[in-house]
Structure 1
Amino acid sequence: MATYNKRGYKPKTQKEKEEVVETDSATAEVFSSLDEGANKTEEWVSENQNIILIVVGVLVAIALGSWAYQVFRVEPRAEEALVESAQANEYYLQAVNATGEQQDSLYNMALEDSNGKYGLIKIAENYSGTPSGNIANYQAGMAYLNLGGANYQNAIDYLTAYDGDGSILEAYAAGGIGDALVQVDQKADAVSYYLKAADIQSNEFTTPKYLLKAAQAALDTGDNSTAVSSLERIEEEYPDAPEASTAKVLLAQAQIAD
């Protein structure tokens, strides 16, 4: 900054006086522009205040509506779904730990309404958008998968509807879809679901399991390159997994056929 611009300094030469005048003029012009812009803004606000109030009102209404919906609709509905699903969840957990005909019976009891309470089918339908409704899709899909027979398409539909948000259950759901597709002889489609299941949450339990299933389904469809890459991943990344010994044998076969 020039010396003559400091507070209290008085210009001495004619040149400094001219520069001070020029600087003051420029400053005045800036403030004049700011004032002009402020006036235009005030005029625009004044002319459009009704529109502004309407827009603000709409935004406030949306915010309040969202809050009210969450508090008075979503949360009570989620709590209601949790209470309603208690019986179906109990039957499902018992079925997971059972075998044979008893297991089939428990899966059916979990799926259907009983004792005045909804089964998994109705919970998924009537409480969609709640955590209980979402998990009911997963449980219903797995129940149908285990029941087998004519239930594989139902298994695919419910497991597809489940949103696992990257959790381990999403991996099981994708793998379950793959299992159902294998049973209905759509092994080429099953491969993609097994590979998806393997990578949703990489770990030493689900990843080698679904890589092996992907390789087996790929070999059955003649997709030897996919089989080789899946088996090599098991051999390289998960050499201590239970699937590693089977993967080693299949890899040798796939490499010969590739």
Structure 2
Amino acid sequence: MAKETVKKHNEFEELVENPDALADRLAGSEDFVKKNKSKLLGVFVAIAAIIVGGFLYYNYRSTQSQEAQSAMFQAVYYFEADSLSKALNGDGQNAGLLAIANEYSGTDAGNLANFYAGAALLKSGKYAEAVEHLQNFDSDDYLLQARAYSLTGDALLEQGKHKEAADAYVKAANHNANPFFSPQYLMKAGIAHEAGNDFAAAAEVYNKIITDYVASAEVSDARKYKARAETLVGGAKAE
């Protein structure tokens, strides 16, 4: 390492003290540039294209996001007014949730449109489509994300997919579990298991409420439902 440093130092002194050597070195650099002019130009153009492209893409996404936010305002208004058809499909002048989710995917508004579209489709009885949109929704807001999992469970339950529905409810309950919403989601999971005649799984879920959420409003019902489910499990075994 020391020898290499000394060598570089000696080369530098030679260039400073010997103008001819410096001229030769510069001439060599000039020749290199001339010989590789096309390649160097291509590199500079590529770098410039990346920078400009990134700038344009950023502005495009910002514009997209603003447009989507404006479109969402009217769609959510219709959703809250229970005008589900207009909320989903628009009113002729403003885009609906389905179009927003599709055209502005990748923006926050497009993502949120999937949540509202899933909820609106669920209310409209279009359960398979509801599941698709709800599963496309992804949020850092743990309450909203858990709600999306629960709505997915509702749509699956309406399709008679009891085990999948129960799994969705449990997923909602376990997503940043809290003493207020988690017991509610677990109760729904237990009911879904019972609807599928899986009374052992139902009893297990009810027991989780009793043991993990002792202060919740659902504990009393959970005890009753657990006793009933265990009785049904015993009856099934006797048969």
Q: Would you say same fold, with TM above 0.5? A: yes
Take 1:215 and 1:163, find their aligned partners in 2: how far apart are those partners? 25
Among residues 221, 224, 229, which one is paired with 1:246 in the alignment? Answer: 221
Take 2:77 and 2:119, find their aligned partners in 1: how far apart are those partners? 15
Residue number in structure 1 paired with 2:61: 74
User: For residues 244 and 115 of structure 1, do their structure 2 counterparts lie closer, same or farther at Cα, with a shift above 3 Å needed?
Assistant: same
- Contact kept in structure 2, 1:166 and 1:201, CA below 8 Å: no
Gaps of 5+ in 2: 11-28, 235-239
Mark the structure with the bigger radius of gyration: 1
One-letter amino acid of the counterpart of residue 161, structure 2: Q
Among residues 108, 111, 117, which one is paired with 1:134 in the alignment? Answer: 111
One-letter amino acid of the counterpart of residue 188, structure 2: K
Is structure 2 residue 114 aligned with structure 1 residue 111? no
- Contact kept in structure 2, 1:141 and 1:154, CA below 8 Å: yes
Take 2:9 and 2:198, find their aligned partners in 1: how far apart are those partners? 70
Take 2:62 and 2:168, find their aligned partners in 1: how far apart are those partners? 34
Alignment RMSD, CA only?
2.9
User: For residues 53 and 31 of structure 1, do their structure 2 counterparts lie closer, same or farther at Cα, with a shift above 3 Å needed?
Assistant: farther
User: For residues 180 and 52 of structure 1, do their structure 2 counterparts lie closer, same or farther at Cα, with a shift above 3 Å needed?
Assistant: same
Take 2:198 and 2:45, find their aligned partners in 1: how far apart are those partners? 60
Q: Please, which moves more after superposition, 163-172 or 207-216?
A: 163-172
Residue number in structure 2 paired with 1:160: 135
Take 1:199 and 1:53, find their aligned partners in 2: how far apart are those partners? 56
Take 1:223 and 1:35, find their aligned partners in 2: how far apart are those partners? 81
Write out per-residue CA displacement over residues 152-205 of structure 1, whole angstroms, 9 at most, x where no aligned residue: 111111111111235211111111111111111110111211111111121223
Among residues 52, 74, 77, which one is paired with 1:87 in the alignment? Answer: 74
Take 1:226 and 1:57, find their aligned partners in 2: how far apart are those partners? 63
Among residues 204, 213, 217, which one is paired with 2:179 in the alignment? Answer: 204
1:1-258 aligned at under 5 Å gives the runs: 31-35=2-6, 62=50, 65-70=53-58, 72-95=59-82, 106-148=83-125, 151-165=126-140, 167-256=142-231, 257=233
**Identical pairs, percent:** 32
Take 1:128 and 1:228, find their aligned partners in 2: how far apart are those partners? 41
TM-score (norm 2): 0.75
Residue number in structure 2 paired with 1:21: none
1:62 Cα deviation from its structure 2 partner:
3.9
1:225 Cα deviation from its structure 2 partner:
4.2
Take 1:90 and 1:174, find their aligned partners in 2: how far apart are those partners? 23
Take 2:77 and 2:60, find their aligned partners in 1: how far apart are those partners? 26
Take 2:9 and 2:100, find their aligned partners in 1: how far apart are those partners? 59
- Contact kept in structure 2, 1:137 and 1:161, CA below 8 Å: yes
Take 2:124 and 2:188, find their aligned partners in 1: how far apart are those partners? 20
1:218 Cα deviation from its structure 2 partner:
1.9
Take 1:232 and 1:153, find their aligned partners in 2: how far apart are those partners? 31
Gaps of 5+ in 1: 1-29, 40-45, 96-105
User: For residues 56 and 171 of structure 1, do their structure 2 counterparts lie closer, same or farther at Cα, with a shift above 3 Å needed?
Assistant: farther
1:66 Cα deviation from its structure 2 partner:
2.8
Take 1:92 and 1:152, find their aligned partners in 2: how far apart are those partners? 17
Take 1:131 and 1:83, find their aligned partners in 2: how far apart are those partners? 12
- Contact kept in structure 2, 1:166 and 1:200, CA below 8 Å: no
